[in-house]
């Protein structure tokens, strides 16, 4: 081969090598793009198993209607919005057993992250302490808290009670509430112990609306429920709010004192209702983190917050770690009252 031919052959080889390198680089870029295509701009990145890639069930342990069902149905599309791959999130109502039946469906589900559910706090913390339920809430994979509602204490206009002193001194106080193992029933039980309402009598009903109606009609003297449940009767002037079980006043009831102001700050955190979402113990930390991130973004979305306000709901976000801390605190509080509650249940 002469010198000119050798140089020509060398140039051809060099050109071929460069072209081959560019082609391989383009293939590499294409592979990288395919790997990250599962991430949406709103929803972050899917895990290596492309989670979530199918419908997620959000279990509500109550019948349709009420705060848990309402907030779940408002929340579901926003979880879809912020989850990778935008899976459908469907609400499934599983009522019964003071929420235990629905919650156990979540706890006992396949730990794949496709079954999540609402848990009622602090009420659900009581069950195992009195022999009603075999579950450990500290093992639940907590996604976060969605809402929290302080209870409002109110009296029938026909009762003639005007303040906390009158409530405490009434020798025949009739308290309208739900079953003792429900969150509302626990609120009434703990209140009677802290305020020393030993001469009061409890009138249980099948639900909050029935107890509130009884107060409006004068059949019972005293009730405690979330403001959202009481507001219609308060606005109608049929019942009178005396205090809010909170450390700060409600914007809707600015003239009504808090229980902390009245000298019983321990009731501010115990007599309340909150809804937290968790998933099955054993779900991978990566998948739980994806659910937590979606919930955080949903609870920061102005559109979601606007819809919650329009529905008279009270969003109150806590992340997974803080929700677990609240659960542990609820369990410790319930341990204080569990022996007395168990005795009352077994009467």
The answer as to whether 12 is a domain residue is no
Domain boundaries, position 252: 150-270
The answer as to whether 20 is a domain residue is no
Do residues 255 and 160 share a domain?
Answer: yes
Q: What is the pLDDT of residue 21?
A: 38
Q: What is the pLDDT of residue 13?
A: 39
136, two tokens: 């450990």
Do residues 284 and 302 share a domain?
Answer: yes
Do residues 262 and 194 share a domain?
Answer: yes
The answer as to whether 30 is a domain residue is no
d(CA 206, CA 218): 18
For 118, residues 6+ apart whose C-beta sits below 8 A from its C-beta are 58, 59, 60, 61, 68, 72, 102, 146, 275, 276, 277
Do residues 155 and 266 share a domain?
Answer: yes
Do residues 160 and 299 share a domain?
Answer: no
Planar angle of CA 89, 146, 243, nearest 5 degrees: 145
What's the CA dihedral at 167, 168, 170, 172 to 10 degrees? 100
Do residues 154 and 114 share a domain?
Answer: no
Q: What is the pLDDT of residue 183?
A: 85
Q: What is the pLDDT of residue 24?
A: 35
Is residue 309 within 8 A of residue 104, CB to CB? The reply is: no
d(CA 129, CA 306): 38
The answer as to whether 6 is a domain residue is no
What are the Cα distances from residue 251, in Å, to 245, 247, 257?
A: 14, 13, 11
What are the 10-residue block averages of pLDDT along the chain, 347 residues in total?
Answer: 40 38 36 34 62 97 92 98 98 92 97 97 91 93 95 95 96 92 88 91 87 95 93 94 93 94 89 94 97 98 96 94 96 90 82
Q: What is the pLDDT of residue 204?
A: 85
Q: Euclidean distance between the first and final Cα of the chain, in Å? A: 109
Identify the CA nearest to 286 among candidates 40, 43, 39, 49: 49
Is residue 132 within 8 A of residue 271, CB to CB? The reply is: no
Q: What is the pLDDT of residue 91?
A: 98
Is residue 64 within 8 A of residue 93, CB to CB? The reply is: yes
Cα–chain center distance at 271: 16
The answer as to whether 4 is a domain residue is no
The answer as to whether 279 is a domain residue is yes
Kindly write down the DSSP assignment for every residue of 204-252, as one continuous string.
E-SSHHHHHHHHHHTS-SEEEEEHHHHHHHHHTTSEEEEEESSSS--TT
Planar angle of CA 181, 186, 188, nearest 5 degrees: 130
Do residues 139 and 158 share a domain?
Answer: no
Q: Which long-range contacts (CB under 8 A, 24 or more apart) does 33-41 make?
A: 38/84, 38/85, 39/84, 40/84, 40/85, 40/86
Q: What is the pLDDT of residue 66?
A: 85
Structural domains of the chain, count: 2
Do residues 130 and 155 share a domain?
Answer: no
- Burial category of 286 from C-beta neighbours within 10 Å (exposed 0-12, middle 13-18, buried 19 and up): middle
User: 10 Å Cβ neighbour count for 258?
Assistant: 20
The answer as to whether 24 is a domain residue is no
The answer as to whether 40 is a domain residue is no
Q: What is the pLDDT of residue 45?
A: 61
Do residues 155 and 228 share a domain?
Answer: yes
| CATH number of the structural domain spanning residue 224 | 3.40.190.10
d(CA 140, CA 280): 6
Do residues 165 and 256 share a domain?
Answer: yes
Do residues 184 and 266 share a domain?
Answer: yes
| CATH number of the structural domain spanning residue 132 | 3.40.190.150
| Helix ranges restricted to H, the chain | 3-36, 66-82, 100-107, 164-169, 183-195, 208-217, 227-235, 266-270, 285-298, 302-310, 320-345
209, 238, 270 — which closes off a domain?
Answer: 270
242, 270, 298 — which closes off a domain?
Answer: 270
Do residues 249 and 278 share a domain?
Answer: no
270, 292, 327 — which closes off a domain?
Answer: 270
């Amino acid at each position: 081969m002469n010198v000119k031919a050798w140089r020509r052959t060398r140039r051809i080889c060099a050109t071929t090598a460069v072209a081959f390198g560019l082609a391989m680089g383009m293939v590499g870029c294409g592979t990288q793009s395919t790997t990250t295509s599962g991430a949406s701009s709103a929803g972050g990145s899917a895990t290596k198993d492309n989670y979530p890639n199918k419908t997620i069930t959000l279990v509500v342990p109550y019948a349709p209607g009420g705060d848990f069902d309402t907030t779940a149905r408002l929340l579901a599309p926003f979880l879809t919005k912020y989850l990778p791959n935008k899976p459908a999130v469907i609400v499934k109502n599983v009522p019964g057993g003071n929420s235990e039946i629905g919650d156990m469906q979540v706890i006992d589900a396949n730990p794949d992250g496709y079954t999540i559910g609402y848990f009622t706090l602090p009420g659900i913390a009581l069950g195992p302490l009195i022999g009603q339920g075999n579950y450990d809430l500290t093992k639940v994979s907590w996604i976060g808290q969605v809402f929290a509602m302080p209870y409002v204490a109110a009296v029938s206009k026909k009762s003639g009670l005007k303040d906390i002193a009158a409530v405490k001194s009434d020798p025949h106080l009739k308290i309208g509430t739900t079953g003792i193992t429900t969150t509302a029933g626990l609120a009434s039980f703990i209140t009677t112990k802290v305020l020393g309402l030993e001469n009061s009598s409890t009138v249980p009903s099948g639900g909050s609306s029935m107890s509130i109606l009884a107060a409006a009609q004068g059949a019972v003297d005293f009730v405690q429920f979330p403001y959202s449940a009481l507001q219609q009767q308060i606005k109608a002037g049929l019942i009178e709010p005396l205090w809010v079980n909170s450390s700060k006043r409600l914007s809707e009831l600015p003239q009504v004192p808090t229980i902390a102001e009245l000298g019983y700050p321990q009731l501010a955190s115990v007599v309340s209702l909150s809804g937290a979402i968790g998933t099955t113990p054993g779900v991978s930390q990566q998948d739980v983190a994806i659910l937590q991130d979606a919930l955080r973004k949903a609870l920061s979305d102005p559109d979601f917050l606007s819809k919650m306000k329009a529905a008279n709901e009270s969003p109150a976000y806590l992340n997974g770690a803080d929700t677990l801390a609240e659960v542990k605190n609820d369990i410790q509080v319930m341990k204080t009252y569990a022996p007395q509650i168990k005795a009352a249940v077994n009467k």
